[in-house]
Amino acid sequence: MEKVRQVRFYKGYFLEFFAQQSEKVKEKIDQVLYIITVVDRVPAKFLRHITESDGLYEIRVEFAGNIYRIFSCFDKGNVVVLFNGFQKKTSKTSRRELDRAKEIKLEYLNSKN
């Protein structure tokens, strides 16, 4: 399939999270990232805008009853930049992880200037 968008990693934040996962979880994350790159309209099951976050998105990965989230933003329309990830253990998104993602996004935007 032809790619609709690109996925990029900002610094090592996502890669650090990814390296800590089992091989099966890594495969599932890779599958979701592939879907994001090739599907024109990504289902909310995999990618959701976080309303209180000013441009942050949450990539959603479910595997074997566990939930993983990866914060990201769009850049230049068709580039998805990955930030931090975490395993979600409660029904609410961790305020600490969301605040960290906001800081990383600000760092990323400042690095572009």
What global pTM score does this model have? 0.91
Instruction: Report the percentage of the chain scoring pLDDT > 90.
Output: 78
The pLDDT score that the predictor gives to residue 53 is 65
Domains, the chain, in order of start with CATH, read 6-112 (3.30.2310.20)
Predicted pLDDT of residue 84: 94
Residue 21 has what DSSP assignment? Answer: S
User: Environment class of residue 66 by beta-carbon count within 10 Å: exposed (0-12), middle (13-18) or buried (19+)?
Assistant: middle
Top pLDDT among 91 and 26 is at 26
φ and ψ of 99, to 5 deg? -65, -40
pLDDT in tens, 48-90: 998 776 789 999 999 999 999 999 999 987 899 999 999 987 7
